[in-house]
Amino acid sequence: MPPSVQPERPPGPHINLPLAVIAQMLPAIFPFDPLTFGLNVAREFGDIAHYHVVLVHVYQLSHPDFARQVLV
């Protein structure tokens, strides 16, 4: 049986889970703006980015053509 192979994923930000949990619990001290986060991910990693939080893999599609293709 061949060894398990990790799929190749697009680049994206690394999410620090403990810091993210603390930030969610203390929004007055650690404000988080999801729109700014998404815009920064798009600027830094391009039209397709990948990141994961615990067991959820998120693929961010930032180009309008990709959004249309997903929705139609």
More confident of the two residues 4 and 37: 37
- As a whole number, the mean pLDDT across the chain is 90
The number of helix segments (H) and strand segments (E) in the chain equals 3, 2
Q: Is residue 22 part of a domain?
A: yes
- Mean pLDDT: which of 6-10, 28-32, 45-49, 64-68 is highest? 45-49
Amino acid 3: pLDDT: 66
Asked if residue 5 is part of any domain, the answer here is no
pTM of the model: 0.77
Question: What φ, ψ does residue 10 adopt, rounded to 5°?
Answer: -65, 160
Please report whether residue 39 resides in a domain: yes
Question: d(Cα 52, Cα 58) in Å, to the nearest integer?
Answer: 6
Range of the domain at 22: 17-71
Tens digits of residue pLDDT in 18-48:
888 898 899 899 898 989 999 999 999 999 9
Per the structure, how many domains does the chain have? Answer: 1
